[in-house]
Amino acid sequence: MLNLILFGPPGSGKGTQALRLIDRYHLVHISTGDLFRQEMGRETPLGKEAKAYISRGELVPDHITIGMLRNKVNAHPEAEGFIFDGFPRTLAQAEALDQLMAEEGTTIHLLIALDVDDEEIVRRIRGRAAISGRADDANDTVVRNRLAVYKNETAPVFDYYAKQGKSHRIDGMGSVEEIFQRLCTLIDQTIHSLKKGALI
């Protein structure tokens, strides 16, 4: 198995790159943000609850997000591995993910953070708002809050996996293809180490 966390601030390109990576490495893509948007679109109780937080740019509480993630992982017993996109966003979520992976007899192998500067993030989110219709992309106050939440609550997840020797950063500025190549180089190195038995 290969279990990868794609990490980075809102608008850093996680979703775009995840779609390319699943094709290349035959992984299952789990974006908790996309799952919440599906629930909101269907107006389920979970969607209604999540909407209140998302519209303010706050995090949906850990127990809700972890429960939803767990269901999604359990729904894919055939998976050759997972790409976690936009999760974990807190240290408690990282601990829960590690526990879930251990229950499945596997582990997180790699976290890759996409480094993108704040100015570029704001530019990308504005562009996305125009086509996605996402209310949380269209409001500057909400976007600023999402960036603050990322810095305060989510950034520590990088250090959490760094302590396990699993965190890497790549330059997230450039063309989609250039960034994809950087990701593939790092993932191929990890697969190579896994084959040599250097990682679990």
- Residues that are catalytic: 14, 89, 128, 134, 146
DSSP β-bridge partners for residue 85: 6, 31
Rounded to a whole number of angstroms, the minimum distance from the CB of residue 26 to ligand UDP is 23
Rounded to a whole number of angstroms, the minimum distance from the CB of residue 53 to ligand UDP is 5
**Contact status: 90 vs ligand UDP (CB under 6 A):** no
**Contact status: 65 vs ligand UDP (CB under 6 A):** yes
Q: Is the Cα torsion angle 141, 147, 151, 152 positive or negative in sign?
A: positive
Partner whose binding site includes residue 36, from ligand UDP, Mg ion, none (CB under 5 to 8 Å by kind): ligand UDP
Residue 136, CA distances (Å) to 22, 34, 58, 156 in order: 26, 13, 10, 23
108-117: burial string, b at 16+ Cβ within 10 Å, e else: bbbbbbbebe
User: CB-wise, 15 or 81, nearer to Mg ion?
Assistant: 15
**Contact status: 32 vs ligand UDP (CB under 6 A):** yes
User: CB-wise, 121 or 185, nearer to ligand UDP?
Assistant: 121
**Contact status: 109 vs ligand UDP (CB under 6 A):** no
57-70: burial string, b at 16+ Cβ within 10 Å, e else: bebbebebbbebbe
Which distant-in-sequence residues (6+ apart) come within 8 Å of 160 by Cβ? 91, 94
Helix (H) or strand (E) holding 129: helix 118-132
Q: Which stretch binds ligand UDP (CB under 6 A): 76-84, 86-94, 158-166, 190-198?
A: 86-94
Q: Is the Cα torsion angle 148, 153, 154, 157 positive or negative in sign?
A: positive
Partner whose binding site includes residue 168, from Mg ion, ligand UDP, none (CB under 5 to 8 Å by kind): none
**Contact status: 7 vs ligand UDP (CB under 6 A):** no
**Contact status: 172 vs ligand UDP (CB under 6 A):** no
Cα 167 off chain centre by: 13
**Contact status: 13 vs ligand UDP (CB under 6 A):** no
Partner whose binding site includes residue 8, from ligand UDP, Mg ion, none (CB under 5 to 8 Å by kind): none
Binding site for ligand UDP (CB under 6 A): 10-11, 14-15, 32-33, 36, 53-54, 57-60, 65, 86-87, 89, 136, 146
